[in-house]
Structure 1
Amino acid sequence: MPYLIIDGQPLHYIDQGTGPAVLLAGSYLWDQNMWAPQISALSQQYRVIALDLWGHGQSGSLPSTTTSLDDIARQALALLDHLQVERATLVGLSVGGMWGARLALLAPQRINGLVMMGTYVGVEPEPTRQYYFSLLQQIEEGGSITPPLLDIIVPIFFRPGIDPQSALYQDFYAKLAALPADRLRESIVPMGRITFGRDDLLSRLGELDAASTLIICGEQDTPRPPHEALEMAELIGCPYLLVPEAGHISNLENPAFVTAALLTFLAQRN
């Protein structure tokens, strides 16, 4: 498995297929396997790169120097440099969209297109910020994501009414339950605080290129509801799509719809 040492830690990534580059940036608490349906389809005609966030999947611990989403964007740019990718289309879901927008603003000449999915680059609304921080504190103090916490956290990522016995739900539940205390305390919890304590980027959205930006949101996304997607799309002046029958992890709840939308967007950009 390929790794790149960045800021003293190994960043794990996959690099599959040939053609114009597509960088997939996933959600908090998920590794690059969340993109499996899209990697399979897109790599038939594109070079698909997907990374594991620090402390997720096979990547190392959150580097001590990483204190903001801007740091994550800079590290992703270092990965593109290492892979000699001059331009890429970035598809970011949730926190992947949060730092993806920062990468597009940091190095616009390197981004051929930007898709932000189930994300919001404004500050976290204060009630939810406090709520998420309280969950993170419980995880940090206990050193595990206990069953009561799993019953709170896991449903957040899916559309209301999803079958809790489904493989998608159960696999995610099991992965979170298995996270060891050191990984939670050294990487997962601090990465959560970086994510939910982010600064406001809404005022800079007008700097993005509307013609090469797309906003996508699950129509039943609870943590990042459609009104946030519409607000960002209006500030950018770009189109936005709602994914039917999908919550936050829309690319896995309705993979056919999302993959088709991405292929359409990529065909317009390349």
Structure 2
Amino acid sequence: MPVAIIAGQPLHYLDQGSGPVVLLGSSYLWDSGMWAPQIEALSQQYRVIVPELWGHGESGPQPTQTRSLDDLARQALVLLDQLDIAQVNLVGLSVGGMWGARLALMAPERVNSLVLMDTYLGAEPEATRQYYFSLFKMIEDAGAIPEPLLDVVAPIFFRPDIDRESALYQDFRQALQNFSRDRLVHSVVPLGRLIFSREDVLDQLPRLDADTTLVMCGDQDKPRPPAESREMADLIGCSLILIPQAGHISALENPDFVNEALLTFLANHA
């Protein structure tokens, strides 16, 4: 996996295929593997680039000066500059959509089209923020995601009736268990606090181009429920697609549906 030095740290990214560029922004706590079905489908006709979040995959620790989602957006622009890429079609899921939309607002000339998946550009509701911060404190204190927390955190990402014995669930649970103390304390927890204390930018969404923007959401997404996606699509004035039989990590829970929707959208906009 190639590496770029950004803000003094190694940021790893996947770069596969050729053609118009599709930049995939990943979910918190997932590496580029969450996009495996999309990478396979899209890289037949597009150049697919997937940067790993700080402390995730093979990327290095979160740079100390990274304090906001705007910083993540700026770092993605630095990566594009280093790769000499003028324009991308940006598909961001969860935090990938949070920084992706900010990138589109910050540098609209760099974003040819934008897909926001299972994400929200409003502030985190206070009760939820406090809940997540309490989990971060427990993880920080333990230097690990304690066993009881694994079965609190893992289900957040999936539809409620996910088979907990399935490879999809068990592999993610194992990945959570594998995070080292160093990664958790220096990257994963700080990144989580940054995500869940984000500023509300809903009032800026009407600035996005409705014709080249699409909102998608798993119809059973618990942390980012469809009502949030509907609110954003209304503000942007763009289409909303609900992904059947999918929770938060919709790209993996219903990959065929997601692939078809993305290929159709990109065929008209890339």
1:25 aligns with 2:22: no
Please tell me the residue identity of whatever aligns with 2:170.
Answer: Q
Question: What is the aligned-residue RMSD (CA, Å)?
Answer: 0.5
Indicate the SS of the match to 1:115.
strand
Please tell me the residue identity of whatever aligns with 2:154.
Answer: V
Indicate the SS of the match to 2:128.
helix
Q: Per-residue deviation at 1:20? A: 0.3
Q: Per-residue deviation at 1:58? A: 0.4
Q: Per-residue deviation at 1:84? A: 1.1
Q: Per-residue deviation at 1:147? A: 1.1
Corresponding residue of 1:154? 154
1:9 aligns with 2:5: no
Corresponding residue of 2:177? 177
Corresponding residue of 2:239? 239
Indicate the SS of the match to 1:217.
strand
Which runs of structure 2 are paired with 1:3-152 in the superposition (5 Å)? 3-152=3-152
Please tell me the residue identity of whatever aligns with 1:162.
Answer: I
Q: Per-residue deviation at 1:252? A: 0.3
Please tell me the residue identity of whatever aligns with 1:187.
Answer: S
User: Structure 1: which 5+ residue stretches go unaligned?
Assistant: none
Cα separation, 1, equivalents of 2:17 and 2:157: 29
Corresponding residue of 2:218? 218
Cα separation, 2, equivalents of 1:58 and 1:80: 19
Cα separation, 2, equivalents of 1:15 and 1:150: 31
Indicate the SS of the match to 1:23.
strand
Cα separation, 2, equivalents of 1:121 and 1:181: 30
Q: Per-residue deviation at 1:178? A: 1.1
Q: How many residues align?
A: 270
Q: Per-residue deviation at 1:2? A: 0.6
Q: Per-residue deviation at 1:17? A: 0.5
Cα separation, 2, equivalents of 1:201 and 1:29: 23
Corresponding residue of 1:168? 168
Q: Deviations over 1:179-216 (max 9, x none)?
A: 11111000000000000000001010010000000000
Aligned identity (percent) is 65
Cα separation, 2, equivalents of 1:226 and 1:173: 25
Q: Per-residue deviation at 1:234? A: 0.3
Cα separation, 2, equivalents of 1:173 and 1:249: 14
Q: TM-score, normalised by structure 1?
A: 0.99
Please tell me the residue identity of whatever aligns with 1:176.
Answer: L
